[in-house]
Structure 1
Amino acid sequence: MADLSLVRIDSRLIHGQVLIMWTKMFPSKKIIIVDDEIANDKFMFQVFKLASPPKIKLEIFTTDDAAKKWKENKFGSLGPVFVLFKNVPVMYEAYKKGFEFDKLQLGGIGGGEGRIPVTGNINLDESDAKMLEELHKIGLDISFQVTPDTSKKDWSSIKDKFFPNV
């Protein structure tokens, strides 16, 4: 049974900030990416494997596999584990299927039509907000922090300012 060091949404998944800053702040022996598309793409798996630090194991799971492996043995004995999602819907789906965790950090999430910049380079739409609010109401501690040296904001302050009707 592995401990979770950090569960984070970051649309870029493995990149410089994750490798240099977050893994120092949250030491991990394994990085798990949860994403149905990437789990089924052998080329992208190799790209992320090459981008991973040499001493940190990488695993990529579908949302179904993440939930199953979490229920079976909390991702095994090699830990602590750093878990990455690329967006809110993928995280929400994995959570609802049974990969339940206590804390969630949101980092870089890109913009687009209907998306609102809520802090730094974190953009949400109303659908994201509804999913986050549902999980927050059942006890998930949700924070927003792009890098360790930027200020941390909680979901309530983001919700009150940008999504007061959710």
Structure 2
Amino acid sequence: MISMIRVDDRLIHGQVAVMWSKALEINRILVVSDEIAKNDIQISALMMAAPSGVKASVVPLEKGIKILNDPRSEKLRILVIVNDPKYVKGLTDSLTEKAVVNVANYGRIGGSLNHKSKLADSVYLTEQEKELFHGVIESGTEIIHQPLPSDARILLKDLLGGK
């Protein structure tokens, strides 16, 4: 079962490895990224950052969809992590299971903030990304902003404002 899909530029890091993995009681982390799945150095770094006792994998989108739709995944508690909203759209369009999406740390790494709007201290989105998230929300997926398990859950649609 998918415990959460998290959008996070940093992928597996302290908040995920220590706080979220315990709060969600996960036993599997699945990083979904076509680009990172091709980079052995990044894969190695992510595997080292995974908490002990939690199996971690880095896979491209299509393989991630197959894994998550496999009936054997229902017995697991999986945290899916992506670093690009396009993967949220790809996953939510293709998964048989609905999962909560948490946009927590996104948009500050890799590039200028000039063409992005600040939605929260740790979330910056382009207009295209806002439209993508609006569409995913309209399709019935719950998207929240909750950086830490102890933080209040805020609906992303409230941060995005009216469309």
Quickly name the TM-score band, shorter chain normalised: 0.7 to 0.9
Report the secondary structure of 1:7's partner residue.
strand
Question: Could you say if the C-alpha distance between residues 78 and 48 of structure 1 is closer, same or farther in structure 2, counting changes exceeding 3 Å?
Answer: farther
Identify the range of structure 1 (22-31 vs 104-113) with the bigger mean alpha-carbon deviation: 104-113
Query: Quick one: distance in 1 between partners of 2:74 and 2:88?
Result: 22
Question: Could you say if the C-alpha distance between residues 54 and 93 of structure 1 is closer, same or farther in structure 2, counting changes exceeding 3 Å?
Answer: same
Corresponding residue for 2:153?
152
- TM alignment of 1:1-166, pairs within 5 A: 3-71=1-69, 73-74=70-71, 76=73, 79-96=76-93, 98-99=94-95, 101-111=98-108, 112-160=113-161, 164=162, 166=163
Report the secondary structure of 2:52's partner residue.
coil
For the Cα contact (< 8 Å) 1:120–1:146, is it kept in 2? no
For the Cα contact (< 8 Å) 1:66–1:99, is it kept in 2? no
Report the secondary structure of 2:136's partner residue.
helix
Structure 1 residues not aligned, in runs of 5+: none
Question: Could you say if the C-alpha distance between residues 78 and 42 of structure 1 is closer, same or farther in structure 2, counting changes exceeding 3 Å?
Answer: farther
Q: CA deviation at 1:51?
A: 1.0
Query: Quick one: distance in 1 between partners of 2:95 and 2:33?
Result: 13
Matched AA of 2:95: F
Q: CA deviation at 1:115?
A: 1.1
For the Cα contact (< 8 Å) 1:144–1:154, is it kept in 2? yes
Matched AA of 1:76: S
Matched AA of 1:18: V
Query: Quick one: distance in 2 between partners of 1:127 and 1:75?
Result: 35
For the Cα contact (< 8 Å) 1:88–1:131, is it kept in 2? yes
Query: Quick one: distance in 2 between partners of 1:10 and 1:40?
Result: 19
Aligned residues: 158
For the Cα contact (< 8 Å) 1:31–1:59, is it kept in 2? yes
Structure 2 residues not aligned, in runs of 5+: none
Moved over 6 A (4+): none
Alpha-carbon RMSD: 1.7
For the Cα contact (< 8 Å) 1:33–1:83, is it kept in 2? yes
